Amino acid sequence: MARPADIEYKGTQLLVVRAFVFLSLAFGLRYLQWRWMNSLNMAQWWVSVPLVVAETYAMIDGFLFGMTVWRSGHRRKVEPLARPATVDVLITTYNEPIDLVMETARAALRIKYPHATYILDDGARDELAELAQLEGVGYITRSEEWVDRPLHAKAGNLNNALMVTSGEFLLILDSDQVPDENILDKTLGYFADDKVALVQTPQHFWNVTRSDPLGTQATLFYGPIMRGKDGWNSAFFCGSNAVLRREALMQLALTGYVHDVAAVLKSNLRGARRVLARARHQAPDSASIDTSLAQIDEAIEEVRSATRRGVSLAEATLQFQRRVNLISREAIHRDLQEIRRDLEEIGDDSGVADALMRLGPDDAVVDELAQLEASPLGSLSALMEMVASLDVNRAHESQPLMPLAIISITEDMATAMRLHALGWKSVYHDEILANGLAPEDLGSALQQRLRWAQGTLQVMLRENPLAKRGLSFAQRLMYFATMWNYLSGFATLIFAATPMAYLLFDVRPVHAYSVTFLSHLVPYLLFNQLMFVVVSRKIPTWRGQQYSFALFPLWIRATFTTVANVYFDRQLSFIVTPKSRARTSRAQMLKVVWPQLVTISLLVLSTIVGVIKLLAHAAPSVEGVWLNVVWVALDVLLISVVIQAAGYRGFEVAAP
């Protein structure tokens, strides 16, 4: 893939980064080759094999990170958009404080570039509607079509608004993200390229201390990582502080509609005969119903044949629905004539039999009775479900077109990946142009991270980028890198359990903790950390590394709950991140991190036991004990960040 022409790659700096990326990967491959081929202690394989698998996972993670930053550059300044454009500023909200929402709305009104501002209130609050009207801000809430249908959280809120607004470009803001007045002037210029669909800017939080105890600032992600993804045309939508092209979203909606309907219809047609078999099992003994089911079987085969011939899905399914309606009318007519014959046999003189004789299959009365729910076929639930599924109107959804992806509880990444698959470009503008509110307690921060992890894993399981048509090889890896990172909880669990197993039970994952072992391990670890230092260049990344390791219970929970959701239809809740400090005691907050507390306790206990064994000359290896003690100390240092965070209660500073 050719690199974007308007990205500057500073020669010496980039060469140093690439040198350390290369050295890190080279020593990593050397270490892994030795581990798999020469060091496994198969006598205790239950520890040895999981550890080398976890190390392999970490090596792949390192490779994906290295490839990402290989093209980490800076966008050149763009000229303002030469032509006039219409812009809608969309502020999404659900239950956030009204004062907070209005502060963002007032800041949006102050944006210099001509635009329209709308509050998208998923809470449908009358007070907020009145304030918006007073301030001259548009107010949009869900239409009636959404009643008793899936809401799709924030994605649904935006999709609803897209159908009642008309701006060529959309600036999307969360309710707490106060925009700079120049945000549109500095981003719209990128859309001079007709293939650019998205311009993402950083998410920055003004209520975060320098020490960032909750690790919310994400400086590494919104620095070298997003700049690197930008270099591969893979910078993705992060949910807020982004400008999107309506045309691209509507193209996405149309192609998504066609793809989804086609996939559902083809799947349901493949299983139609099984559905008919269940319907026959449900049906009472009736020659009339047997005849109708046989006719529907023929109609299904006609639909399948028509789609194979290239007939449009809409036309094929319309023909099928008309055929089913005709079959239902014929069934009703047969039943009415059977009733007439029964009345004649018992000598009924009420005139009903004569009236029934005059009814034909096309009579309005027959047509009314033949509505599928009222017909004899309406009692066959399996048949009803199958007929409803062969419908291009997507009656189960509030609106047939969904521009923003609804396959995940976080709409952003999936939407961007689909845009890239259609050939659209994205841009990462590395300048803070909006300031928001970060969670001010650990519980809220963990809710937010859990939602991110679940949403990202949903995308991986439903639309794996490695198999996504339309993406370049690099784009596949860039999306997969973000998803792969959320599987780290299992590797972290192994990295914590392995030194415990050695210090407590003398279980060795390698043949020996020798000079040979250290000669392979140390260079790999050293150059891996030097790579982070060089890439970050004064950006604080230690807090991020701590949380990536320390939140392993959360990542594991996210994996299991997402698998249950995707494959077993278990519901995932969409929890809006609280914008105010939670009133919880320190004891309550410690309960949130009990897995980490237990892990730290076991690590400390294993160290004590290991040292006692060493002093008692009962340890299998002096070098092994000290190496694992250092390993434990590093684990504790990484995990302990959540203990500090559990006691954090925010801080008081003046808003910008």
For residues 95 and 427, which has the higher predicted lDDT (pLDDT)? 427
Q: What is the pLDDT of residue 654?
A: 45
Residue 359 and residue 55: Cα distance in Å, rounded?
A: 78
Mean pLDDT in residue range 490-512: 95
Q: What is the pLDDT of residue 210?
A: 84
Q: What is the pLDDT of residue 366?
A: 45
Which backbone phi and psi does 56 adopt, to 5 degrees?
Answer: -65, -40
Question: For residue range 168-179, what is the model confidence (pLDDT) as tens digits?
Answer: 999 999 999 999
Could you tell me the CA-to-CA distances from 265 to 276, 395, 591 in Å, in that order?
Answer: 16, 14, 48
Contact 378, 331 (CB under 8 A): no
Confidence at 410, pLDDT banded by 50, 70, 90: confident
Residue 114 and residue 83: Cα distance in Å, rounded?
A: 12
With a cut of 80, say whether residue 239 has pLDDT above it: yes
Find the largest Cα–Cα distance for the chain.
Answer: 110
Q: What is the pLDDT of residue 592?
A: 86
Three-state DSSP class for 333? Answer: helix
Q: What is the pLDDT of residue 293?
A: 74
With a cut of 60, say whether residue 433 has pLDDT above it: yes
For residues 561 and 256, which has the higher predicted lDDT (pLDDT)? 561
Question: For residue range 462-487, what is the model confidence (pLDDT) as tens digits?
Answer: 999 999 999 999 999 999 999 999 99
Angle in degrees, CA 419, 425, 431, rounded to 5: 115
Question: 265 CB contacts (<8 Å, ≥6 apart)?
Answer: 307, 313, 317, 389, 390, 392
Q: CATH assignment of 79-256+402-463, given 3.90.950.10, 3.40.50.1370, 3.40.50.2300, 3.90.550.10?
A: 3.90.550.10
Q: What is the pLDDT of residue 260?
A: 73
With a cut of 70, say whether residue 442 has pLDDT above it: yes
Question: For residue range 6-35, what is the model confidence (pLDDT) as tens digits?
Answer: 777 777 888 999 999 999 999 999 999 999
Q: What is the pLDDT of residue 384?
A: 55
Out of 286-295, 423-432, 604-613, least confident range:
286-295
Mean pLDDT in residue range 217-224: 91
Residue 52, Cα to own-chain centre: how many angstroms?
29
- Which of 614, 639, 629 is closest to 500 using CA atoms? 629
138-140/116-121 β-pairing: parallel
Question: For residue range 281-297, what is the model confidence (pLDDT) as tens digits?
Answer: 666 666 666 777 788 78
With a cut of 60, say whether residue 190 has pLDDT above it: yes
Name 139's bridge partners.
119
With a cut of 80, say whether residue 107 has pLDDT above it: yes
Mean pLDDT in residue range 343-350: 64
Mean pLDDT in residue range 307-323: 75
Q: Domain ranges in the chain?
A: 10-70+483-646, 79-256+402-463, 284-379
With a cut of 90, say whether residue 349 has pLDDT above it: no
Confidence at 370, pLDDT banded by 50, 70, 90: very low
Q: What is the pLDDT of residue 170?
A: 98
Mean pLDDT in residue range 426-448: 93
Q: What is the pLDDT of residue 655?
A: 47
Out of 44-53, 179-188, 412-421, 638-647, least confident range:
638-647
With a cut of 80, say whether residue 273 has pLDDT above it: no
Residue 466 and residue 479: Cα distance in Å, rounded?
A: 8
With a cut of 90, say whether residue 193 has pLDDT above it: yes
Confidence at 497, pLDDT banded by 50, 70, 90: very high
Q: What is the pLDDT of residue 253?
A: 92
Residue 389 and residue 324: Cα distance in Å, rounded?
A: 13
For residues 310 and 514, which has the higher predicted lDDT (pLDDT)? 514
Confidence at 42, pLDDT banded by 50, 70, 90: very high
With a cut of 50, say whether residue 562 has pLDDT above it: yes
Q: What is the pLDDT of residue 335?
A: 65
Q: What is the pLDDT of residue 158?
A: 97
Q: What is the pLDDT of residue 200?
A: 98
- Which of 8, 27, 24, 6 is closest to 16 using CA atoms? 24
With a cut of 70, say whether residue 333 has pLDDT above it: no
Question: For residue range 149-162, what is the model confidence (pLDDT) as tens digits?
Answer: 999 999 999 999 99
Residue 210 and residue 516: Cα distance in Å, rounded?
A: 42
With a cut of 80, say whether residue 402 has pLDDT above it: yes
Contact 480, 465 (CB under 8 A): yes
Q: What is the pTM of this model?
A: 0.85
Average of per-residue pLDDT values in the chain: 87
Mean pLDDT in residue range 556-564: 96
Out of 302-306, 328-332, 335-339, 640-644, least confident range:
335-339
Contact 200, 442 (CB under 8 A): no
Mean pLDDT in residue range 175-190: 97
